[in-house]
Structure 1
Amino acid sequence: MAAIHLPRAMRIGGGTLAELPEVLAQFGLSRPLVLTDGWLAGSGVLERVENLLETAGFAVRSFSGVVTDPTVASVEAALAFLREATHDCVIGLGGGSPIDTAKIVAVKALRDAPVSAFKAPHQQDEPGLPIIAVPTTAGTGSEATRFTVITDEASDEKMLCAGLAYLPTVAIVDYELTLTKPARLTADTGIDSLVHAIEAYVSKRANPFSDAAALTAMRLIWPNLPLACADPGNRTAREALMMGALQGGIAFSNSSVALVHGMSRPIGAHFHVSHGLSNAMLMPVVTQWSAPSALCRYADCARAMGLSDDGVSDQGAVGRLVEALQQVNADLKVPTPAAYGIDKERWDALLPLMAEQALASGSPGNNPRVPEAGEIIELYRRAWA
């Protein structure tokens, strides 16, 4: 049996941003708070959204202080801004960080509790304010998930918060918002969405619904990621990546992520590596280690990505998958932790804590092969160089 959860409404396709006022009116919403980051505020995208809403008669306010890998402090600042006026919904405009911030702010708007009170294994199903997600990157899939991740800067822990309260009411998925994204951001977010799809498919929580979304995501992302990186204006590739990210988000939200994500979050928290990049650093090593426990599932991934056909054995298909993941990292210039410039002594010293934090997130428990702390430490060591 599987419990399936999706946003109540999704508007998908080029130009759908223009439908934002109509969607808000459809849900009886009139006083939105837009949460975004400084880059989008300076790029003209925020101004475009504000003009759309103001022209339609909405009382809109905007907060552009969202930070990459949102912290408790940045969430509290956004929450304080929300409470300066009366708002009936929160719009997350941007990549995973603004959407994740919008999710936790919407929940905390109706509750006086610290962010740490909401971290897994706590499940927050009782809703807060309605959440409207407008992604501008093709990566996190946060517009369709029941999760948010917030960093506790005091402990350098990335806190996974889960529950139906974080599932957006509406997602506006307009690939045209990604046309100006640079190659590095395109690569990192694209790998992130690929990892979502693969982990959702091999997860112990996989089900027929999540499988269909995951396989579709892989078919969309794998051939189009290098095209979009090479030519940022390639509309066909951009649209495919946006749909792949959405399908990947739907897949893992209704299945789960697994060991890559569990290990990735501590790297981001302690060394400030972007989420997609830390996923990419780990993906080949973790896939190779995990595959013997779900050979046919990983082989299905290889075939969906066009790396192997039905005439090749599962073992052969998985071998091609691992080689392809190593090669795409080389092609997209994904650095190892060593090449990224992380201090080796600090890395080694933090490995026990990182392994502990990875296990505490619960994600490794969904992996086909469930690791112990010592095995996670060994995988971190393999990924180092």
Structure 2
Amino acid sequence: MRRDFYMPTRIVWGEDVLVHIGSFLRDLPVKNILVVTDPIIAGQPFFTETIARLSDDGFRISVFDECGIDARVAHIDEQAARCRRESISAIVSIGGGSVMCTGKGIAIVATNSESFREVTGVGNFQKEALPMVMVPTTAGSGSEVSQFTIVKDDERHLKLLGGGPLSFPTVAILDPVVLLSLPQRAATFSAIDALSHAIEAYLTDLSTPFTDAIALEAARLQMASMRGSILDSDAKARGNNLLASAMANIACGNARLGHAHALSLPLEGHLDLPHPLGVGSLVPWTFKFNAEVVPEKGTTFAQGLGVDIKGLSAAEAVDAAVDTIFELYDALGFPRHLSNEQLPRDRIPDMAKLAVPGMYGSTVPVVIDQTTVIASPSVRAMTVKHATEIYELASGR
């Protein structure tokens, strides 16, 4: 069976690498730049200093600073039209996952279509996206090294995925200085999102020795750095947390994401649940669900999370791994369960059915019942009935 591993993004990391952003753009080469960010990041000293450096380096800069919690179709379509109108030749995204997803969506639509709705799915466009330089300000989404972008369609209450080999960012700049001003709650949510990427990548049918090695090391590095980065603002831990986040997304970018992300999508689209809260509440249970059919991998990953597996059966090692994840949640202040307000019990059956298309937009069967399988590359088939049970567990019921 043929397997591919593809990662064309240049990754630069270390303290103060952000000051050299102009040199990376000159290498492309480009002149007119759209900088994408959000109102909070736009007020940070590192952002204003970066804009000043780019201006001094001779780049013509336009700024879009209205990104919110999610990337949105309306923003992407408007700014893509602006790029065509103003002959903008590159996108610089400075922010968290929603900012980078917005920038990536703009880069795709600017060269391919009038709306992001026309390029959803995997590889559903023909022209290479505009060059992109990504500066993540959270150690979380890993979008800086991903070909995919997730965008909210407010009109249809959907989360849309788009991307392909023609939309990898050109350069990712990982500088721990950007994490200094990040509030603890935002840092925690981002870090849990990143951990879910490592967990999910390890347990798909598309995983390979390459992705397994990266996912395992990402998880190990995350467990070793999260507390120091988030609770103590340790500089080395911040750098390792950023690097681990990128590694986790490199793994899932090739091995894909699994059930936690598939089940989180309807919660995000229909219940307005923040993405990290959705996947974070689901991933301990989807990890256990999938690891049951690959006990050797479950044990190995438990060890990567820091579990002492000596004398434990495979099932006991997986249970200990779930406990370790929850202990991390407790230490960082991340909720173990969704509240009834976040996921009303009477909505669970509908959510389970809405999860059927999965993360990557598979065709929905005409009839959906309890035996219908959720579309996912995960190692174990999950039915609507299983999904309902997972939602119940994630709700603490």
Q: With structure 1 as the length reference, what TM-score do the two structures score?
A: 0.93
1:379 aligns with 2:390: yes
Superposition deviation, residue 210 in structure 1? 1.0
In the other structure, the counterpart of 1:5 is 6
How far apart, in 2, do the equivalents of 1:222 and 1:335 lie? 17
How far apart, in 1, do the equivalents of 2:389 and 2:343 lie? 17
In the other structure, the counterpart of 1:255 is 255
1:91 aligns with 2:102: no
In the other structure, the counterpart of 1:43 is 44
In the other structure, the counterpart of 1:313 is 313
In the other structure, the counterpart of 1:217 is 218
Q: 1:106·1:130 contact (CA, 8 Å) conserved in 2?
A: yes
1:368 aligns with 2:379: yes
Superposition deviation, residue 27 in structure 1? 1.4
Alignment of 1:183-262 (within 5 A): 183-231=184-232, 233-262=233-262
SS in 2 for 1:66: coil
Q: 1:154 to 1:352 in 2, by over 3 A?
A: farther
Question: Which shifted more, 48-57 or 221-230?
Answer: 221-230
Superposition deviation, residue 345 in structure 1? 5.8
Alignment of 1:134-145 (within 5 A): 134-145=135-146
Alignment of 1:232-381 (within 5 A): 233-309=233-309, 312-335=312-335, 338-339=338-339, 341-342=341-342, 344=344, 347-348=347-348, 350-358=350-358, 361=361, 364-381=375-392
How far apart, in 1, do the equivalents of 2:284 and 2:197 lie? 14
Structure 2 segments unaligned to the other structure (5+ residues) = 363-373
How far apart, in 2, do the equivalents of 1:150 and 1:371 lie? 25
How far apart, in 2, do the equivalents of 1:252 and 1:214 lie? 8
How far apart, in 1, do the equivalents of 2:99 and 2:340 lie? 25
Q: 1:84 to 1:121 in 2, by over 3 A?
A: closer
Q: 1:162 to 1:82 in 2, by over 3 A?
A: closer
How far apart, in 2, do the equivalents of 1:364 and 1:353 lie? 11
Tell me which amino acid in the other structure corresponds to 1:365.
S
Superposition deviation, residue 269 in structure 1? 2.0
Question: Which shifted more, 208-217 or 322-331?
Answer: 322-331
CA deviations on 1:60-110 (whole Å, 9 max, x unpaired) are 111101222112112123224334412111111111111111111111111
Question: Which shifted more, 244-253 or 343-352?
Answer: 343-352
Question: Which shifted more, 59-68 or 356-365?
Answer: 356-365
1:177 aligns with 2:178: yes
Q: 1:161 to 1:34 in 2, by over 3 A?
A: same
Q: 1:111 to 1:43 in 2, by over 3 A?
A: same
Q: Which has the higher helix share?
A: 1
1:118 aligns with 2:119: yes
SS in 1 for 2:152: strand
SS in 2 for 1:358: coil
Tell me which amino acid in the other structure corresponds to 1:324.
T
How far apart, in 2, do the equivalents of 1:154 and 1:80 lie? 20
Question: Which shifted more, 135-144 or 343-352?
Answer: 343-352
Q: 1:79 to 1:50 in 2, by over 3 A?
A: same
In the other structure, the counterpart of 2:28 is 27
Tell me which amino acid in the other structure corresponds to 1:290.
N
How far apart, in 2, do the equivalents of 1:364 and 1:230 lie? 37
Q: 1:124·1:164 contact (CA, 8 Å) conserved in 2?
A: no
Superposition deviation, residue 351 in structure 1? 2.1
Q: 1:116 to 1:321 in 2, by over 3 A?
A: same
How far apart, in 2, do the equivalents of 1:212 and 1:338 lie? 32
Superposition deviation, residue 360 in structure 1? 6.2
Q: 1:134 to 1:338 in 2, by over 3 A?
A: closer
Superposition deviation, residue 304 in structure 1? 1.3
In the other structure, the counterpart of 2:17 is 16
Q: 1:340 to 1:65 in 2, by over 3 A?
A: farther
Q: 1:31·1:89 contact (CA, 8 Å) conserved in 2?
A: yes
Question: Percent same amino acid at aligned positions?
Answer: 26
How far apart, in 2, do the equivalents of 1:107 and 1:359 lie? 19
SS in 2 for 1:127: coil
SS in 2 for 1:149: strand
CA deviations on 1:183-221 (whole Å, 9 max, x unpaired) are 111111111111111111111100111112111101110
How far apart, in 2, do the equivalents of 1:128 and 1:220 lie? 32
In the other structure, the counterpart of 2:370 is none
Q: 1:326 to 1:44 in 2, by over 3 A?
A: same
**How many residues were matched structurally?**
384
Superposition deviation, residue 343 in structure 1? 6.0
How far apart, in 1, do the equivalents of 2:62 and 2:30 lie? 14
Q: 2:292·2:298 contact (CA, 8 Å) conserved in 1?
A: no
Q: 1:225·1:237 contact (CA, 8 Å) conserved in 2?
A: yes
Q: 1:100·1:142 contact (CA, 8 Å) conserved in 2?
A: yes
Structure 1 segments unaligned to the other structure (5+ residues) = none
Q: 2:352·2:388 contact (CA, 8 Å) conserved in 1?
A: yes
Q: 1:262·1:361 contact (CA, 8 Å) conserved in 2?
A: no
Q: 2:161·2:359 contact (CA, 8 Å) conserved in 1?
A: no
SS in 1 for 2:389: helix
Superposition deviation, residue 26 in structure 1? 1.2
Q: 1:270 to 1:137 in 2, by over 3 A?
A: same
How far apart, in 1, do the equivalents of 2:385 and 2:25 lie? 50
Q: 1:369 to 1:319 in 2, by over 3 A?
A: same
CA deviations on 1:104-138 (whole Å, 9 max, x unpaired) are 11111112243222222554463121111111110
SS in 1 for 2:315: helix
Tell me which amino acid in the other structure corresponds to 2:116.
V
Superposition deviation, residue 340 in structure 1? 7.2
Tell me which amino acid in the other structure corresponds to 1:213.
I
Tell me which amino acid in the other structure corresponds to 1:381.
E
CA deviations on 1:239-280 (whole Å, 9 max, x unpaired) are 111110011011111111111111112222222222222111
